[in-house]
Amino acid sequence: MFHTMAYMKNFIKDKDVASITPTSPFGVRKVCGHIDFARNNVIIEYGPGTGVFTDYLLKHMKNGSHLIAIERNKNFKSILQNRIRDPRATIINDSAENVLEALKACKRCEADYVISGIPFFWLPRDLKDKILHNTLMALKPGGSFLVYQTCFQTDQHLKVHLERFFPIVHTRFELRNIPPLRLFEAVKGNDCGSRRTGLRPDSLSGSAPAGSTLAQSGRGMGLGHDLFDRTNSDL
Ligand SMILES: C[S@@+](CC[C@H](N)C(=O)[O-])C[C@H]1O[C@@H](n2cnc3c(N)ncnc32)[C@H](O)[C@@H]1O
């Protein structure tokens, strides 16, 4: 109830909050089901809101893990900072495209997972590209970008953009949420850096790498996936 009240107040004032209620426990569990909690991880969370994912992650993470939560909304950041007193968590008031600065501030080089609920469907193309590029750079080889969005999105809103940056993209749905969710798992290849994608951070706008470049970089990475199935793998 606390989560829902605080959430709705901010939803009314800030369009970037984007969803009227926090993610359901079903949605949280399904997204986090991709995480290997048996090992120490660096996990980055974009848009923690009132912290439904943050709480779940901290409950399941090992002691040697680190969670970096990046929240643009100042009220949510204060709510989280007052509520969460866990030395494994760092809460930062910033926007997701600045993820590399956040990692640096936390003295970390790369992350195992990035989780995101930010509303990609109304981000301008250049900002979307910047966030995807910097997320790719923030992840370890083999690391995963786990995204949850409302199910009303078409492939044009996010999936086709993820496929320009990540060699493996899976999508699925979680109906037990209001509204139902579309979930994405985008995996960074073992040899998939900015040079490989042909992108530089300062040349993102309108200069997407050809999908085939990424598909090539995905081949032979030893990830055990059939890359020819990946682009339309709605599970
Ligand atoms: C759909 S809500 C998800 C909130 C929460 N994680 C949940 O699952 O209930 C989106 C969240 O992303 C935050 N947000 C939107 N744009 C952002 C950005 N560019 N960088 C960081 N956070 C952002 C919003 O303030 C909001 O907290």
Q: Which CATH number fits domain 2-219: 3.90.79.10, 3.30.420.40, 3.30.365.10, 3.40.50.150?
A: 3.40.50.150
Nearest to 159 by CA among 119, 186, 125: 186
* Predicted model pTM: 0.82
Taking the centre of ligand 1 as the mean of its atom positions, its distance from the CA of residue 92, in whole angstroms, is 13
Peptide bond into 180 cis (omega under 30): no
pLDDT at 208: 37
Is the model's pLDDT at 150 over the cut of 70? yes
pLDDT at 57: 98
Q: Domain segments of the chain: what residues?
A: 2-219
Give the C-alpha separation, 179 to 202, whole Å. 36
Report which protein residue has its CA nearest ligand 1's atom 11. Answer: 47
Tokens, residue 53: 């994912």
Report which protein residue has its CA nearest ligand 1's atom 14. Answer: 47
The label of the residue with tokens 């923030």 reads: 138
Question: What percent of the chain clears pLDDT 90, i.e. is strictly above it?
Answer: 69
pLDDT at 1: 63
The label of the residue with tokens 């900015």 reads: 194
Long-range contacts of 14-22 (CB under 8 A, 24+ apart): 14/73, 15/122, 16/72, 16/73, 16/118, 16/119, 17/49, 17/73, 18/117, 18/118, 18/119, 18/122, 18/150, 19/117, 19/119, 19/150, 19/179, 20/178, 21/178, 22/49, 22/50, 22/52
Taking the centre of ligand 1 as the mean of its atom positions, its distance from the CA of residue 212, in whole angstroms, is 31
User: Does the beta carbon of 70 lie inside 6 Å of ligand 1?
Assistant: yes
What is the overall mean pLDDT for the chain?
Answer: 83
Residue 16 CA, closest ligand 1 atom number: 15
Taking the centre of ligand 1 as the mean of its atom positions, its distance from the CA of residue 73, in whole angstroms, is 8
143-147, 158-162, 174-178, 230-234: which has the minimum mean pLDDT? Answer: 230-234
pLDDT at 55: 98
CA distances 65 to 40, 87, 90, 180, Å, are: 5, 10, 11, 30
Q: What is the secondary structure of 72-135 as a DSSP string?
A: S-HHHHHHHHHH---TTEEEEES-GGGHHHHHHHTT-S-EEEEEE-S-GGGS-HHHHHHHHHHH
Is the model's pLDDT at 3 over the cut of 70? no
How many C-beta neighbours within 10 Å does residue 25 have? 12
For 121-138, write each residue's pLDDT tens digit: 989 999 999 999 999 999
Is the model's pLDDT at 154 over the cut of 80? yes
Tokens, residue 58: 């901290």
Give the C-alpha separation, 214 to 196, whole Å. 8
Is the model's pLDDT at 146 over the cut of 80? yes
Taking the centre of ligand 1 as the mean of its atom positions, its distance from the CA of residue 147, in whole angstroms, is 11
35-44, 85-94, 157-166, 188-197: which has the minimum mean pLDDT? Answer: 188-197
Give the C-alpha separation, 216 to 5, whole Å. 47
133-142, 153-162, 212-221: which has the minimum mean pLDDT? Answer: 212-221
User: Does the beta carbon of 73 lie inside 6 Å of ligand 1?
Assistant: yes
**Chain-centre distance for alpha carbon 187:** 11
Question: What is the pLDDT averaged over residues 55-73?
Answer: 98
In testing the pocket of ligand 1, which one of 2, 13, 17 has its CB within 8 Å of the most ligand atoms?
17
Helix axes 2-13, 74-83, angle to 10 degrees: 160
